[in-house]
Amino acid sequence: MKKSFKSAAIVLLAIIAGAGPVQAEYNSNVVGTITNVLTYDGGHFLFTLSAMPSSPCANYFIVPSDIPVDGRQMLLSRALMAKASGEAINIGYDNKTCVNGWYRVHRIG
């Protein structure tokens, strides 16, 4: 009885140790022109692209507020410059995990 409890406890601990938080990953790229940039007080911003990817996320890309401020400012600058110039830009994003229903951006440019 004690041996099966000990084995079950070891298995449970192994499962818990291996189950970490889900991490967004940079797994896709898309090229297009930025059509809208929406900024918010919380520090995050959304934008749309002329060539939005299909499902699973909605029709926006997000640069979330958990990215350090200097990184968000750099990405926002790149997005605004690309929108102003009308030139196509490469967006690196996570096409599997949505943040609030939007594609999480890892790279602009």
> What is the residue extent of each domain of the chain?
23-108
Q: Cite the DSSP H helix spans in 1-109.
A: 2-18, 69-85
Assign 3 a pLDDT band (cuts: 50, 70, 90): low
CATH architecture of the domain covering 23-108:
Beta Barrel (2.40)
**Residue range 68-86: mean pLDDT, rounded:** 95
How large is the C-alpha radius of gyration of the chain?
A: 19
Report the C-alpha gap between 10 and 93 in whole angstroms. Answer: 37
Phi/psi for 47 (5° steps) reads: -155, 160
Residue 76 has pLDDT above 90, yes or no: yes
Higher pLDDT, 19 or 108: 108
For residue 58, what are the contacts with CB-CB under 8 A and spacing of at least 6?
98, 101, 102
Q: How far is CA 89 from CA 40, 51, 86, in A?
A: 22, 11, 9
Please name which of 36, 37, 38, 28 lies closest in space to residue 95, comparing C-alpha atoms: 28
Report the C-alpha gap between 107 and 31 in whole angstroms. Answer: 12
